Homo-oligomer: A and B are copies of this chain.
Amino acid sequence: MLGTTKRDRAAERRETTRREILDAAWAIASEVGLAQVTLRDIAARVGMRAPSLYTHVDSKNAIYDAMFAQAWTECLEVMRGLEQNPPNDLRATLRLYARTFFDFSVSSLARHQLMNQRTVPGFEPSPESYAPAVEVLGALRHRMATFGVTSEADVDLYVAIVGGLVDAQLANDQGGERWRRLLDRAVDMYVHDLDQRAGATSLHTTTEDER
């Protein structure tokens, strides 16, 4: 049917333009900073005037929202990729997850600020865009549960430690490895704490002392 084809082509074109807008926004964000992205700059990069963007996006924050969803979706894919050939002990798993998330986070300051910090004044992610972020945490929770780590506090502590290392790295030694070097040590000390607690409650699920 011709009508359908036409409509598909139009939708496809629309999609492409939207992609170009987001790509332009990412480029500007990584060049001059996330908060320094302006609609006029985005428009100029895709060959438009600023108001024309509004036929493709609802607002500037909608652009941030789409970028937020993109970032966390990409993160989710990276973390899901780890489930292919997973390590069979807790320590190696948490080391791998920590390093993967760390490297992903540290590889783009603008993206990390969008994902994890509130560096854009008025922006609050929509529930739909927030979903993949929740899923990343859910995947981690599920993975940890297979090793018997199920308590909220245990997961919270792991998340806080890894997040703290990421933040410290980006804030104080951007492009360096000063905090990255501490990842394995931090995980080991966390796992040791878990083992100790598991021993106390006689909930031993993993063999330890590999290293």
Contact = CB atoms under 8 A, between A and B. Distances in A.
Interface of A: 33, 35-36, 113, 116-119, 121-122, 152-153, 156-157, 159-165, 167-168, 171, 178-179, 181-182, 185-186, 188-190, 192-193
Copies of this protein chain in the complex: 2
Contacts of A157: 182, 185-186
Contacts of A156: 168, 178-179, 182
Given A156-B179, A157-B186, A192-B193, A36 B121 contact: yes
Q: Is the interface of A mostly helix, strand, loop or mixed?
A: helix
A155 to B, nearest CB: 11
Q: Which 7 A-B pairs have the closest CB atoms?
A: A164-B164, A35-B121, A189-B193, A160-B164, A160-B168, A163-B164, A160-B165
Contacts of A178: 152, 156
A190 B188 CA distance: 10
Contacts of A171: 116, 118
Nearest to A117: B117
Task: Name which of A160, A179, A190 has the most chain B CB atoms within 10 A of its CB.
Answer: A160
